[in-house]
Structure 1
Amino acid sequence: MKKNFFLVFVTAGALLCSISCSKQDLTEETQLTEGPETTMATASTSSRVFFEGVNGHPMNQAPYTYTSPEAQINLIKSLGMNVYRIDLPVNSKGEVNVPHRLDRLKKAADAAGVTLLPMIATPNLENFKYDEGYYYRKGHALGSKFAKLYGEYFTYYNIGNELDNKCILSSSKAGDKAAHYDIKKFRRIAACLRGMNDGIKIYDKTAKTMINASWMHYRYLSMIEDLGIRFDIVAYHWYDEMEQLAKQSYNIDDFTKFLSSKFEKPIWFTEIGVRDNTGTGSRSVQYQTSFFNSFITKCRNNPQVQAVIIYELFNEPHLSYVQEQHYGIYKWLSLYTSYAPKPFAAERLKSLAQ
């Protein structure tokens, strides 16, 4: 998630695992907790794989391209985290635009026991002017080409990003009902995602794919399930104002449990974050820390949740949208040359050192 789309809506670990990055090891461990028996009532924490990590943009955004891939992985490892979600710019041939940087990142991640989770954007939806078959073929071509080239790099694939926001009818719609979506747009998005999922699994038989949504848009994901699209993991984005308004408007104290009541698939919170307009004062110094600690604890305590991933590693002061400048858990002391942990990261480092 980048910009605070949710403002529009308003106006209308303890169980950290030490895991190998081997695809075989990851697949065998994950199979222990996946499938229809994985529910709040039946899932076992004894065999559970739990990922805790952070988002970043190591391929294409300045705070990251000025920082070596090795340094980024070292920071993640030092925080006791074991997953790094990254957006991968991919061309029409399925090729990552900066392959040498991905190779370095992968080598460092493997050495540190950190799993890379790629977010692969869908092909251009071109204003939804073509039929569903067209979007399926576009998605299939991208997914198959990408997996053919990089299937040995990854076990988990995040296909598309926040496409629920492209088919929601208006800011006044919560997203918890099918009637809240433009069905023509939805079906074309779903066709593209089906194609990506199918294409990836041609070349990577062990692939675990995930599709994400945010706010109360869980109905978007259940509609995708209803179409028979065989994705493996429910991914979700959850930010601090959503946590507050879920309690105020829906009497939901623990959204992880609410989401578990809607799906049988494993759940990954692939973005959690705090909207901060200033970068100063109690909101950034204290509130970010308390929100992260509280929500991460909820995720750990829910056996259906397999991952929680903070948005994001570094502040991004070069971006014009003010909230994006302050999402990081590390701040810049000197622009892109020296950085320091913000309170959440500092407290975590101190705790791990004890």
Structure 2
Amino acid sequence: MVSCSKEAHPEADRLPEAAVTRIKKAAPLVVADGFIWGINGHPLTQEAYKNNIELQLNLVQKMGMSYYRVDVPTDTNGVVIQQAVMDELLHKSAARNISLLPMLYLTGWQKSSNEADAFRRGRKIGFSFASVYSSHFHYYEMGNEEERKILKGGHGDKTTDYDLQQFKLLAAFFKGMYEGIKAVDPAAQTIIDNSGWLHYGYFQLLRDYNVPYDILGLHWYSDMGDLDNAKGHGDILSIVSSFQKPVWITEINRRHGSWNSDGTSAEEDQRAWMDRYMLQLHQRKQVKAFFVYELLDEPAFADKSKPAYNPSESVYGVVNWVSRYTTYTFKPLFAAMQYRIEETQYGNEDFLRAVYRKLYATEAGVQWLHYWLQRLASGVTAEQVVAVLLKDAGQSATLAADLLSETFWKEAIIYGFTHR
């Protein structure tokens, strides 16, 4: 069983729901233009994802997401191990207009005898994989948290925290894989990630050794603190943005998902942490994507009889199995994702429609809506808009407090998502 282990840094801090920063009245969470919302899954590798690809893709769609990150094991020749499953996934995701982000394992890099051998191995996998699948993919994530394999000690913020000889082999493998992919598709975009915390010394090493890649991938879990304050060690989003590459958060969640070591549920705590992280994306123009880890709970990891027993790994999903692999329920995080995605894409529109319904008991016209959306986009505040609309409708100015309240805003977003 292939595992993307979510090994903790310090034990996860529990966050009471009340501690979540609330968005200010009548103002949407603003993310970068073309922002990508996605989620992780393991349709080619894990038991919980077998024989239910349609369910997976339907859930991705239901959340309003457009990307699905999947780990893709290959042999040393770059041939996908589960080709039939891969073909099914490609066909069914395309039919739903869901894009896939393949995470390619760096198969064999640690067995490389020297840098030339590592480069050859990397190029072979990259070229072979892209030769078969380049028509399906624009983005390729090269490896998964590879810096953990070469970290000697320390926080990972210094280049000296890493085994340089091992890094040179890894760097050569990356260079080969990058060249192999680009030889097939020069427009392809490649991602190199880390496992989070303060491991940005790894990205400095990549820069120092001229390792080419297009997008910086960041993984983050709640035991590391906030994205804008890593337990007193600085604003991680600002630090990684300094490498002058688009930043994709390709894994993020509460550490251990909805699991507590005492056996109690942490579903609300999981939702609260993730909502906190989404709010920290506000106005972060360098951050271009946010991928939740993960789609489905994996109860196989809670089976004591199995070698991969690790109960804390079993409940990262946004979906909880009621009856194993047949019936399920949505965790609170599922609705939280729907809400924030709707808000970033249609927040002002949902708000204006709700105001119009409140004032006139009917739906707003297209021209009216377009005009006021343009006004909000030009810098006119929601308070100013509401003041004008109340006057036009002959309504009391005291109604403004209700229309600009957090409750009204939330109801507008939920109504918008439900009726879209």
Confirm or deny that 1:303 pairs with 2:319.
no
Q: Return the offset for 1:225.
A: 1.9
TM alignment of 1:101-140, pairs within 5 A? 101-126=85-110, 130-140=113-123
Q: Return the offset for 1:146.
A: 0.6
Say if 2:225 and 2:231, in contact at 8 Å, map to a contact too.
no
Where does residue 5 of structure 2 map in the other structure? 2
Please point out which of 16, 27, 46 is paired with 1:61: 46
Cα separation, 2, equivalents of 1:71 and 1:194: 37
* One-letter code aligned to 1:328: G
Confirm or deny that 1:180 pairs with 2:161.
yes
Cα separation, 2, equivalents of 1:349 and 1:306: 18
Where does residue 147 of structure 1 map in the other structure? 130
Cα separation, 2, equivalents of 1:74 and 1:349: 14
Where does residue 34 of structure 2 map in the other structure? 49
Structure 2: 5+ residue stretches without partners:
14-27, 302-308, 340-413
Q: What SS is found at the alignment partner of 1:250?
A: coil
TM alignment of 1:176-255, pairs within 5 A? 176-213=157-194, 214-243=196-225, 247=229, 249-252=231-234, 254-255=235-236
Q: Return the offset for 1:71.
A: 1.5
Q: Structure 1 residues 315, 305: closer, same or farther in 2, change over 3 A?
A: same
Where does residue 152 of structure 2 map in the other structure? 169
Cα separation, 2, equivalents of 1:83 and 1:113: 9
Q: Deviations over 1:233-286 (max 9, x none)?
A: 00010001112598474353x5323322x2110000000011234388876221
Structure of larger gyration radius: 2
Overall identity of the aligned pairs, in %? 33
Cα separation, 2, equivalents of 1:295 and 1:209: 25
Confirm or deny that 1:256 pairs with 2:237.
yes
Q: What SS is found at the alignment partner of 1:318?
A: helix
Confirm or deny that 1:90 pairs with 2:74.
yes
Q: Return the offset for 1:109.
A: 1.9
Q: Structure 1 residues 265, 59: closer, same or farther in 2, change over 3 A?
A: same
Q: What SS is found at the alignment partner of 2:193?
A: strand
How large is the RMSD of aligned CA atoms in angstroms?
2.6
Confirm or deny that 1:268 pairs with 2:219.
no
Q: What SS is found at the alignment partner of 1:268?
A: strand
Q: Deviations over 1:62-106 (max 9, x none)?
A: 110132x22211100100111110001112332222222222222
Say if 1:157 and 1:209, in contact at 8 Å, map to a contact too.
yes
Cα separation, 1, equivalents of 2:267 and 2:167: 40
Please point out which of 300, 314, 318 is paired with 1:318: 300
Where does residue 331 of structure 1 map in the other structure? 320
TM (norm. structure 1) is 0.82
Say if 1:147 and 1:204, in contact at 8 Å, map to a contact too.
yes
TM alignment of 1:4-23, pairs within 5 A? 4-7=7-10
* One-letter code aligned to 1:324: E
TM (norm. structure 2) is 0.70
Say if 1:53 and 1:310, in contact at 8 Å, map to a contact too.
yes
Cα separation, 1, equivalents of 2:228 and 2:336: 28
Q: Structure 1 residues 258, 325: closer, same or farther in 2, change over 3 A?
A: same
Q: Return the offset for 1:127.
A: 5.4
* One-letter code aligned to 2:47: A
Structure 1: 5+ residue stretches without partners:
17-43
Q: Structure 1 residues 143, 15: closer, same or farther in 2, change over 3 A?
A: farther
Say if 2:297 and 2:317, in contact at 8 Å, map to a contact too.
yes
Cα separation, 1, equivalents of 2:111 and 2:84: 33
* One-letter code aligned to 1:295: Y
